Amino acid sequence: MSDLTQHTAKLSELALEIPPFWTNPRVFTGLDKPSLNELAADIKAKERVIDPLTVQLVTVPGRAEPIKLVTDGQRRHIAAGMAKISEVPVVYLTEEPVELTKEFATKLLSDAMSIGNLRETISSYEQALAAARLKEGGCNGKEVSRVIRRSEAWVSRMTKALTKATPTLIQDWKAGKITDEQFKDLSDVKIEDQVEALKETRDARESGNKTEARAKVKELAAKFKAERGPSKAELKRQAKAARQAKKDAKKAGKVAAAKPALPMPPSRSTLAHLVELGKSKPATHEYAKGVLDAFRYVLGELADAGLAKPWHAYIQRAAPGKSTAKKPLKLMRKVAKAKRGKVSTSDLAAKAKGKRGARAQRKADRDQVAKARAKASKK
């Protein structure tokens, strides 16, 4: 490999295009007459080209001598000719010539795009053309995105649009009469409708109403997509979503089967029917009476005052802020008895404490007698 030492070469020896494998990625940006005249005037004033052109020595079938292909320096080459400069500085990428195959041309294009994008910016149209050539040469979307400094999504959309657009639509995009987004959307319109859609968009832009132009393009593209129906990718997404929904439904069914549903509460008519049965054949058990009273209470046939005492006791215990813990049955009976005899609960508690003390004393006396008897038997 060369260390890129600078040399000189005659302008007539340098080639800018070698079809079909190599065409310069710069098609028109910076190649307009005013731009080239300005560069040519600068070169003429300095009487030389300052920045060297990058050259690759290549061989092609049917030609014995290698060709000096300019991979970076197209504008300087043309401007030097306009300034009547016969020799220009060059640097060679390799010392030995390389056969110009499709694969090697793709590599040269990738390198040229990386350099060219750092110089005078090329248009979106030129970038899309270069991206399409790189993809044809075997580069994947990620590699193309890195080379032309555009997102993978942009590369995918614009290269696809190039394959669907009419020459007229491509020409308007190239000339800057429509934006990248409008070109992409208009390429989705039917081929036979693109000319009319383009005319409407162009008229809207020329009238100065860019918002209307964008809206018109979106409307036309959406209309065509609706007529065309879902794409293969969209059908694939829908099928995947349907399969997932089926799995979720199946899983939900299993969960429901594992957890049996709670029984539905009885309707008012059912409660009323049970109450009528209770009236025709009165219940004798207290529990059954309490249930029937609850039904009547729900139906509005029984007021609070009509509820039996056990219901009032339960409601009082279950009231917010009150403990619902069950008290020992004996203690509850003693408290009720104390209330009837107007004995305070503190007196009742003291009496219970005294009884517990007496029991403890009697146990201690029995233990003492047992110890004395055991001691006497040993003697």
Asked whether 128 and 162 are in contact (CB, 8 A), the reply is: yes
**pLDDT for the residue numbered 291:** 82
**pLDDT tens-digit series, residues 284-307:** 777 777 888 887 888 878 787 777
Rounded to whole angstroms, the maximal C-alpha distance in the chain is 147
What is d(CA 8, CA 90) in angstroms, rounded to the nearest whole number? 5
- Hey, what amino acid is at 208? G
Residue by residue, DSSP assigns 205-253 as: HHTT-HHHHHHHHHHHHHHHHHHH---HHHHHHHHHHHHHHHHHHHHHH
Q: Which two tokens stand for residue 110?
A: 């990738």
What is d(CA 190, CA 192) in angstroms, rounded to the nearest whole number? 5
Q: Which two tokens stand for residue 120?
A: 């005078």
Q: What is the dihedral of CA 139, 141, 142, 147, to 10 degrees?
A: 60
Domains defined for the chain, CATH in brackets: 1-122 (3.90.1530.10), 165-245 (no CATH), 268-325 (no CATH), 335-372 (no CATH)
Contact residues for 343 (Cβ-Cβ < 8 A; gap 6+) = 337
What does the mean pLDDT of the chain come to? 79
Least confident segment among 75-79, 259-263, 324-328, 346-350: 324-328
Q: Which two tokens stand for residue 204?
A: 């809207």
Contact residues for 303 (Cβ-Cβ < 8 A; gap 6+) = none
**pTM for this one?**
0.48
Least confident segment among 73-77, 142-146, 200-204: 200-204
What share of the chain has pLDDT > 70, as a percent? 79
**pLDDT for the residue numbered 210:** 64
Least confident segment among 217-226, 239-248, 300-309: 217-226
| DSSP one-letter code for 12 | G
Q: Which two tokens stand for residue 161?
A: 């649009």
- Average pLDDT of 278-282? 76
**pLDDT for the residue numbered 11:** 93
pLDDT of 106 higher than 60: yes
**pLDDT for the residue numbered 275:** 76
pLDDT of 14 higher than 80: yes
**pLDDT for the residue numbered 99:** 92
- Average pLDDT of 240-260? 76
Least confident segment among 73-77, 114-118, 237-241, 373-377: 114-118
Q: How confident is the model at residue 45 (pLDDT cuts 50, 70, 90)?
A: very high
**pLDDT for the residue numbered 120:** 54
Contact residues for 100 (Cβ-Cβ < 8 A; gap 6+) = 18, 21, 22, 58, 59, 60, 67, 69
Alpha helix (H) residue ranges in the chain:
33-46, 74-82, 102-116, 124-136, 141-148, 152-164, 167-174, 180-187, 191-206, 210-228, 232-258, 268-280, 286-299, 309-317, 329-340, 345-378
pLDDT of 63 higher than 80: yes
